[in-house]
Structure 1
Amino acid sequence: MKLGMLTACLPQLSLAEIAAWAGETGYEALEVAAWPDTGGRDFEAAHLPVAGFDSRAADETRALMARHGLDISALAYYENNLHPDPARRAEIHAHLKQVIDAASALDVPFAGTFVGRDWTRPVADNLAEAEKVFPGLVEYAGERGVRLVIENCVMEGWHPDGYPGNLAYSPELWEWMFSLGLYLNWDPSHLTWIGIDPVTTVAPYADRIVHAQAKDLQILPGKADRYGFFGKAVRREDPWDTGWWRYRVPGRGQVDWNAVVDALYEHGFTGTLSVEHEDPVWSGTEEKVKTGLEIAHRTLRPLIVA
């Protein structure tokens, strides 16, 4: 197992700057954010120019990683592959294919994304639509030696009522998506707030957990008694603010990282555990984000066999 980090939390830095810092800090791998360069939200960081990615760019990227003793564990483009707008969906699929091409050029085994959801239609319709959409994408990736990995994030902010916007949040849905040739980028934080014990999900799906993310989650005392499981309803200016929980860096929330890492080892996980920093306490400035990543490193590094 290697300890890595997702670069999306530092959108203002270049990949070279992140690689230098991550190597010095003791990280072993980068999950590289590969959104288009639109200057958008933090999780739309563009750290690899996958459009027109050629052999020269691949060689330069490999040399950069080698200088800092790092691997690239996966390329990250977490977008809605079932977007209700056909034009937007086509854009997403086109960019995902560019991400896959870049991963193949770099010999990176995984490209990360979401199943997503058309929030104007019921779940059953979405599952049927995904069964049409994903086989072609899985085939495209497979022909290039890349596997598509799906993060089990609920993406409640994508749905107008705060319901799941990514149909990959539960073991029931994992089994369905595995039948489409997809794999899992397993993140225990999302399981924690929807009432699933993350440790119990490792053994049954160990052969499909090929990459993992390390993000913690803090349940705010007493808040669920006011808002209920589905979160704020009357004054929810931020679609991502449920009011009763928040993401934290590993070691600052409810996740039992000793148990998580032990379960991954016990069931044969040999991939990268990649820190995904979305902690509001350690956000807002480059210095605070890096401090959060240092906290995560200090929490997880002693648990991972050198």
Structure 2
Amino acid sequence: MKLGVFTVLFSDKKLEEMLDHVAASGIEAIELGTGGYSGNTHCDVDELLDNGQKQKEFMDNIDRRGLMISALSCHSNPLHPQKKIAQEADQLFEKTVKLASQLGVPVVNTFSGCPGDHENALYPNWPVSPWPNEYQEILKWQWKEKIIPYWTDKANFAEKYNVKIGLELHGGFSVHTPATLLQLRDACGPAIGANLDPSHMWWQGIDPVEAIKILGKENAIHHFHAKDTIVDQSNLNRNGLTDMTPYSNMQNRAWYFRTVGFGHESKVWADIISTLRLYGYDYVVSIEHEDGLMSINEGFTKAIQTLKPIMVKDSIDEMWWA
């Protein structure tokens, strides 16, 4: 396994400065944003796509620092009911897949998106209650008319370019749990998998270790984010898990993100890493920093300090004792 970082947290740095910084910190892999919610500071897809010379310069910069690219990421909403927003997200996804293929990057990360509740809707509708029954009707319509048709086409597209799709299981989007990921994978094929982030499991009441088992049995984990979450029980009692309090109002939120090790102790993270290996994941653990109590550098450094000692670097080939 390799320790990586989602480089959007260093968007204030130029590419070479960022690469020097993460390499000096002991990072082995980088996940690069190509646009959407995460921006494209370090990877301009329009500049690089179909440009062999630019790509060579780009990859030489990365290679000579001993780094690899774990994934290209274009988090956005390709199912948005407003066509302009959806089309921009769709075009970005397809360009990102093509660029990943040309650079030899095996995974493109994104969100599943979330449609509206009818053809002329203006905003996404995220049904999370089975009753009143209208929500069930919305959900059925979304999956039949929007989600499955779109991702069937994109899974075929990604397979053509030998790229896997890592959907981040994230609240507010149609695929947000192991069950909804497997539902989409069953309908669209094995190009669809998870970019699994424990932080979004914890706030939904899902044990990340159990999520790894569920998805790992299906070989459905394509990428992995390392980010933590803390649940404030007194605020949870008041607001519930679907808390709409702004992220910036941390004192009154039911849950909020922390850097690795500050929501759950090292033993919990060791169990997560071990379970990933147990179920065949031997790829990159990519640090994502969204901690409202720590600077980027402090949160990044502390995440490395927590994860490095528990990473499984050399898996055993044979049980010599049995």
* TM, length-normalised to structure 2: 0.83
For the residue of structure 1 that corresponds to 2:46, the secondary structure is coil
Larger Rg: 2
1:273 aligns with 2:309: no
Pick from 42, 46, 54: which aligns with 1:47?
Answer: 42
Task: Specify the alignment match of 2:161 in structure 1.
Answer: 144
Pick from 191, 197, 208: which aligns with 1:198?
Answer: 208
Q: Tell me the distance in 1 between the aligned counterparts of 2:223 and 2:240.
A: 32
For the residue of structure 2 that corresponds to 1:204, the secondary structure is helix
Query: Could you list the per-position Cα deviations for residues 243-281 of structure 1 after superposition, in whole angstroms to 9, with x for gaps in the alignment?
Result: 111111101103620110111111121110101111111
Between 132-141 and 80-89, the greater mean CA deviation after superposition: 132-141
Between 92-101 and 21-30, the greater mean CA deviation after superposition: 92-101
Q: What amino acid sits opposite 1:294 in the alignment?
A: T
1:212 aligns with 2:224: yes
Q: Tell me the distance in 2 between the aligned counterparts of 1:123 and 1:251.
A: 36
* TM, length-normalised to structure 1: 0.87
Q: Structure 1 residues 27, 141: CA separation in 2 closer, same or farther (over 3 Å shift)?
A: same
Moved over 4 A (4+): 236-242
8 Å Cα contact 1:152/1:168 also seen in 2: yes
8 Å Cα contact 2:78/2:85 also seen in 1: no
Alignment of 1:178-189 (within 5 A): 178-179=185-186, 180-181=188-189, 182-189=192-199
Task: Specify the alignment match of 2:24 in structure 1.
Answer: 24
Between 119-128 and 101-110, the greater mean CA deviation after superposition: 119-128
Quote the sequence identity (%): 27
8 Å Cα contact 2:166/2:194 also seen in 1: yes
Q: What amino acid sits opposite 1:23 in the alignment?
A: A
Q: Tell me the distance in 1 between the aligned counterparts of 2:277 and 2:155.
A: 28
Task: Specify the alignment match of 2:139 in structure 1.
Answer: 123
Q: Which runs of 5+ in 1 are unaligned?
A: 155-164, 283-287
Task: Specify the alignment match of 2:85 in structure 1.
Answer: 88
Between 104-113 and 115-124, the greater mean CA deviation after superposition: 115-124
Alignment of 1:217-256 (within 5 A): 217-232=229-244, 236=245, 243-254=253-264, 256=268
Pick from 80, 96, 101: which aligns with 1:104?
Answer: 101
Alignment of 1:257-296 (within 5 A): 257-282=269-294, 288-296=295-303
Q: What amino acid sits opposite 2:45 in the alignment?
A: V
Q: Tell me the distance in 1 between the aligned counterparts of 2:39 and 2:232.
A: 27
Between 250-259 and 289-298, the greater mean CA deviation after superposition: 250-259
8 Å Cα contact 2:165/2:222 also seen in 1: no
8 Å Cα contact 1:219/1:254 also seen in 2: no
8 Å Cα contact 2:16/2:61 also seen in 1: yes
8 Å Cα contact 2:108/2:166 also seen in 1: yes
Q: Tell me the distance in 2 between the aligned counterparts of 1:224 and 1:294.
A: 29
Q: What amino acid sits opposite 1:130 in the alignment?
A: I
8 Å Cα contact 1:199/1:260 also seen in 2: yes
Q: Tell me the distance in 2 between the aligned counterparts of 1:64 and 1:297.
A: 23
For the residue of structure 2 that corresponds to 1:305, the secondary structure is coil
Q: Which runs of 5+ in 2 are unaligned?
A: 118-124, 126-137, 314-322
Q: Tell me the distance in 2 between the aligned counterparts of 1:229 and 1:294.
A: 29
* 1:189 CA drift (Å): 1.0
Q: What amino acid sits opposite 1:140 in the alignment?
A: F
Between 110-119 and 69-78, the greater mean CA deviation after superposition: 110-119
The Cα RMSD (Å) is: 1.9
Q: What amino acid sits opposite 1:195 in the alignment?
A: G
8 Å Cα contact 1:8/1:44 also seen in 2: yes
Q: Tell me the distance in 1 between the aligned counterparts of 2:73 and 2:273.
A: 22
